[in-house]
Amino acid sequence: DADVTQTPRNRITKTGKRIMLECSQTKGHDRMYWYRQDPGLGLRLIYYSFDVKDINKGEISDGYSVSRQAQAKFSLSLESAIPNQTALYFCATSDLKFGLYEQFFGPGTRLTVL
Protein backbone atom coordinates (compact mmCIF):
# COMPACT_ATOMS: atom_id res chain seq x y z
CA ASP A 1 0.00 0.00 0.00
CA ALA A 2 1.32 3.45 -0.88
CA ASP A 3 2.56 5.05 2.28
CA VAL A 4 4.49 7.75 4.09
CA THR A 5 7.25 6.34 6.27
CA GLN A 6 9.51 8.02 8.80
CA THR A 7 12.78 6.86 10.32
CA PRO A 8 13.65 6.58 13.08
CA ARG A 9 10.37 6.23 15.00
CA ASN A 10 12.02 7.13 18.28
CA ARG A 11 15.30 8.84 19.02
CA ILE A 12 16.99 9.99 22.18
CA THR A 13 19.99 12.24 21.77
CA LYS A 14 22.09 14.73 23.68
CA THR A 15 22.32 18.49 23.45
CA GLY A 16 24.62 19.63 20.68
CA LYS A 17 24.35 16.48 18.56
CA ARG A 18 23.40 16.61 14.89
CA ILE A 19 20.27 14.65 14.10
CA MET A 20 18.59 13.74 10.83
CA LEU A 21 15.01 12.58 10.52
CA GLU A 22 14.05 10.95 7.27
CA CYS A 23 10.79 10.76 5.40
CA SER A 24 9.99 8.64 2.36
CA GLN A 25 6.78 8.32 0.43
CA THR A 26 5.54 5.93 -2.22
CA LYS A 27 2.44 7.98 -3.05
CA GLY A 28 4.09 9.86 -5.91
CA HIS A 29 3.06 13.17 -4.35
CA ASP A 30 4.95 16.33 -5.25
CA ARG A 31 4.48 18.23 -2.04
CA MET A 32 6.07 17.33 1.28
CA TYR A 33 5.98 18.95 4.70
CA TRP A 34 7.64 18.73 8.11
CA TYR A 35 5.66 19.56 11.27
CA ARG A 36 6.41 19.37 14.95
CA GLN A 37 3.76 18.66 17.54
CA ASP A 38 3.94 19.77 21.14
CA PRO A 39 1.23 19.19 23.75
CA GLY A 40 -1.31 22.01 23.65
CA LEU A 41 0.25 23.63 20.59
CA GLY A 42 -1.02 21.47 17.80
CA LEU A 43 1.01 21.00 14.64
CA ARG A 44 3.43 23.72 13.60
CA LEU A 45 4.94 23.87 10.14
CA ILE A 46 8.73 23.77 9.99
CA TYR A 47 9.50 23.52 6.26
CA TYR A 48 7.64 22.58 3.11
CA SER A 49 8.65 21.66 -0.41
CA PHE A 50 6.60 21.71 -3.58
CA ASP A 51 9.17 19.86 -5.69
CA VAL A 52 12.80 18.83 -5.61
CA LYS A 53 14.05 22.34 -6.40
CA ASP A 54 11.68 24.15 -4.06
CA ILE A 55 12.18 24.59 -0.30
CA ASN A 56 10.18 27.02 1.85
CA LYS A 57 10.37 28.02 5.48
CA GLY A 58 7.35 27.50 7.69
CA GLU A 59 6.37 29.04 11.01
CA ILE A 60 9.27 27.71 13.06
CA SER A 61 12.27 26.99 10.82
CA ASP A 62 14.99 28.36 13.12
CA GLY A 63 17.32 25.59 14.28
CA TYR A 64 16.23 23.25 11.48
CA SER A 65 17.27 22.57 7.91
CA VAL A 66 15.85 20.28 5.23
CA SER A 67 16.92 18.47 2.12
CA ARG A 68 14.68 17.23 -0.69
CA GLN A 69 16.90 14.52 -2.16
CA ALA A 70 14.27 13.22 -4.57
CA GLN A 71 10.55 13.53 -5.13
CA ALA A 72 10.04 10.71 -2.64
CA LYS A 73 12.48 11.79 0.08
CA PHE A 74 12.47 14.79 2.40
CA SER A 75 14.88 14.93 5.35
CA LEU A 76 14.84 17.19 8.38
CA SER A 77 18.08 18.02 10.19
CA LEU A 78 18.78 19.52 13.57
CA GLU A 79 22.33 20.81 13.27
CA SER A 80 22.85 21.16 17.02
CA ALA A 81 19.97 19.73 18.98
CA ILE A 82 18.68 21.50 22.07
CA PRO A 83 16.20 20.29 24.72
CA ASN A 84 13.32 22.50 23.54
CA GLN A 85 13.40 20.61 20.24
CA THR A 86 12.05 17.62 22.11
CA ALA A 87 8.78 16.94 20.31
CA LEU A 88 6.86 14.63 18.00
CA TYR A 89 7.79 15.26 14.37
CA PHE A 90 5.51 14.46 11.47
CA CYS A 91 6.18 14.34 7.76
CA ALA A 92 3.22 14.82 5.41
CA THR A 93 2.50 14.85 1.68
CA SER A 94 -0.15 16.32 -0.57
CA ASP A 95 -0.92 16.28 -4.25
CA LEU A 96 -2.97 18.04 -6.86
CA LYS A 97 -5.01 14.85 -7.36
CA PHE A 98 -6.47 15.41 -3.90
CA GLY A 99 -6.91 19.14 -4.36
CA LEU A 100 -3.74 19.80 -2.39
CA TYR A 101 -5.72 20.44 0.78
CA GLU A 102 -5.69 16.84 2.03
CA GLN A 103 -2.42 15.97 3.68
CA PHE A 104 -1.26 12.42 4.33
CA PHE A 105 0.84 12.04 7.44
CA GLY A 106 3.59 9.61 8.34
CA PRO A 107 3.55 7.79 11.69
CA GLY A 108 5.78 10.37 13.40
CA THR A 109 9.19 10.43 15.03
CA ARG A 110 9.40 11.00 18.76
CA LEU A 111 12.59 12.93 19.46
CA THR A 112 13.98 13.50 22.94
CA VAL A 113 16.93 15.84 23.44
CA LEU A 114 18.60 15.49 26.82
Partner 1 sequence: GQSLEQPSEVTAVEGAIVQINCTYQTSGFYGLSWYQQHDGGAPTFLSYNALDGLEETGRFSSFLSRSDSYGYLLLQELQMKDSASYFCAVREPGTGGFKTIFGAGTRLFVKA
Residues that bind partner 1 (CB under 8 A): 33, 35, 40-45, 48, 50, 54, 56-59, 90, 99-108
Q: Output 15 or 26, the one with its CB closest to partner 1.
A: 26
Q: Output 17 or 86, the one with its CB closest to partner 1.
A: 86
Quote the CA–CA distance of 95 and 98 in Å, as a whole number: 6
Quote the CA–CA distance of 20 and 52 in Å, as a whole number: 18
Shortest Å distance, C-beta 77 to partner 1:
20
Q: Are 96 and 33 in contact (CB under 8 A)?
A: no
